[in-house]
Amino acid sequence: MAYPLLINGNLVEGDATLDVINPATEQVFATCSRGSEAQLNDAVAAAKAAFTSWSETSIDERKQVVLAMADVIEANAAELAQLLVQEQGKPLADATGEVHGTAAFFRYFTTLSLDVEVLDDSEHRRVEAHRKPLGVVGAILPWNFPLLLLGFKLPSALIAGNTVVVKPAPTTPIATLRMGELIREVVPAGVVNIVADANDLGGALTRHPDVRKVSFTGSTATGKKVMEGAASLLKRITLELGGNDAGIVLDDVNPKEIAPKLFQGAFWNSGQVCAALKRLYVHESVYDEVVDELAAIANNTVIGDGLQQGTALGPLQNKMQYDKVKEILDEARQKGTVVAGGEVPDQPGYFIRPTIVRDVAEGSRIVDEEQFGPILPVIKFTDEDDALRRANDTEWGLTGSVWSSNIDRAYALANKMDAGSIAINAHAALDPSIPFGGSKQSGIGSELGHEGLKEFTQLKIINIAR
């Protein structure tokens, strides 16, 4: 039995199987168990049954379990990274970093507490704020960072005293299922359950009457379906959704200095990052030089199979996303000027070279939509207020950035950008201690940091009259 489900502490063969494709070869590299709705219900029942004892376990004991999980992940980092490369496509160095980053996120949450907060302790009353666990949490994961984004959800949910049912993305379930096999010996039965599907169980998990909270990372369109499914029972949700994140480059920058940082912000994981730099507004005085520097980096970037030494960027993760990005690229050639990349290599795999598009503006898909791929539109502006207006004129608001040699000037502009996280002279610098969440249609609630931990709790006030 390869890559079984984890249900109630048992490794369970799925009622069906699921073939997983390596996006660098377009060939099946592994077959895993695929759960049925009945098996999903079994997982929820196991989590519900385990909740009473787990929630009554002290937070210090729960932290020890999470630390043990982190140890297991790190001890098996090489194996998990290899699996990540083959199912997701990213280079091995990035996959290895993701595995160790996941363990680090687990460890971070063990440093936090949920102590009782005294709001008033006067002659007439004492008011306490307690943070209580919710119950069963459904954690629904995307395909771009299968393990790291589990690190956004699982450790905080567990430390808060909840039990969890994890549903990995159907195109990247392997590393998550293997992690379930590895942690089984250090986690009490039923506390963590993992059920893979063929994109057909998300609704059942979201609507399940015994699931008290759903934590979802993925597209805005699917996030709306999660919200709809949770509405009938008014269950808690955290939605970390898409973005069309803008960067604004002012006229006082050093193009050679910032270009590598801009490129990394846009093309990390082949642009398949919700918080990636997806629209770059550059002042006309430095526009040509910034474009040229980005084009030079793009032209020198090695793409290929993530297991091959020297590969900097891998393929798109799946054919659906690959086809979408190719459509956007075709239109970008018509509505802008491609100065680097733009090629779709004639070889197996979902590869697109990193592409820089200049002389493009709003009204084209590459500017107006979230491309979620290795294409960056570079848009010229003259007036800062106009650039700010254009950057904010979107239904999304996940992250943004401002680039300038004058921090005060950049800060003033950053403070007016409408997004959940704004960086100055960087883009989307994720840290487990910093809350992360979007505005507008980029999400509801926060993950990471103490705020992220509290999202997995119920606030309970005890008011004692004296």
Q: What is the pLDDT of residues 175-222, one digit of tens each?
A: 999 999 999 999 999 999 999 999 999 999 999 999 999 999 999 999
DSSP secondary-structure letter at 115?
A: P
Query: Catalytic residue at 274?
Result: yes
- pLDDT for the residue numbered 2: 86
Annotate 399-428 with b (16+ C-beta within 10 A) or e (fewer): bbbbbbeeeeebeebbeebbbbbbbeeebb
Instruction: Please report the DSSP string for 139-177 in residue order.
Output: EE--SSSTTHHHHHHHHHHHHTT-EEEEE--TTS-HHHH
- pLDDT for the residue numbered 1: 63
Q: Read off the pLDDT of residues 310-336 as tens digits, 9 standing for 90 and up.
A: 999 999 999 999 999 999 999 999 999
The verdict on pTM exceeding 0.85 is yes
Query: Catalytic residue at 362?
Result: no
Q: Read off the pLDDT of residues 244-268 as tens digits, 9 standing for 90 and up.
A: 999 999 999 999 999 999 999 999 9
Q: What is the residue whose two structure tokens read 């990995």?
A: 168
User: Tokens for 339?
Assistant: 């100065």
**Active-site pick, 32, 87, 98, 240:** 240
The count of other CB atoms within 10 Å of the CB of residue 114 is: 18
Mean pLDDT of 19-41: 98
**Active-site pick, 32, 87, 98, 274:** 274
Query: Are 156 and 66 within 8 A, CB to CB?
Result: no
User: For residue 330, which phi and psi values (nearest 5 degrees)?
Assistant: -60, -45
DSSP secondary-structure letter at 422?
A: E
What burial class does residue 169 get, using C-beta atoms within 10 Å of its C-beta: 0-12 exposed, 13-18 middle, 19+ buried? Answer: buried
The count of other CB atoms within 10 Å of the CB of residue 351 is: 23
Q: What is the DSSP pairing of strand 27-34 with strand 246-249?
A: unpaired
CATH code, 246-431? 3.40.309.10
| Alpha-carbon span 401 to 249, nearest angstrom | 9
- Specify the domain boundaries for CATH 3.40.605.10 within the chain: 5-241+442-465
Mean pLDDT of 3-14: 98
The angle subtended at Cα 211 by Cα 184 and Cα 214, nearest 5°, is 85
The count of other CB atoms within 10 Å of the CB of residue 333 is: 13
| Alpha-carbon span 105 to 431, nearest angstrom | 9
Whether the per-residue pLDDT at 428 is higher than 90: the answer is: no
Q: Is 5-241+442-465 assigned to CATH 3.40.605.10?
A: yes
Identity at 85, one-letter amino acid code: V
- Specify the domain boundaries for CATH 3.40.309.10 within the chain: 246-431
- In which element (H, E) is residue 213 found? strand 211-217
| Alpha-carbon span 51 to 189, nearest angstrom | 10
Q: What is the residue whose two structure tokens read 């912000």?
A: 265
Query: Are 201 and 35 within 8 A, CB to CB?
Result: yes
Query: Are 138 and 215 within 8 A, CB to CB?
Result: yes
Mean pLDDT of 55-78: 98
Q: What is the residue whose two structure tokens read 């989307």?
A: 428
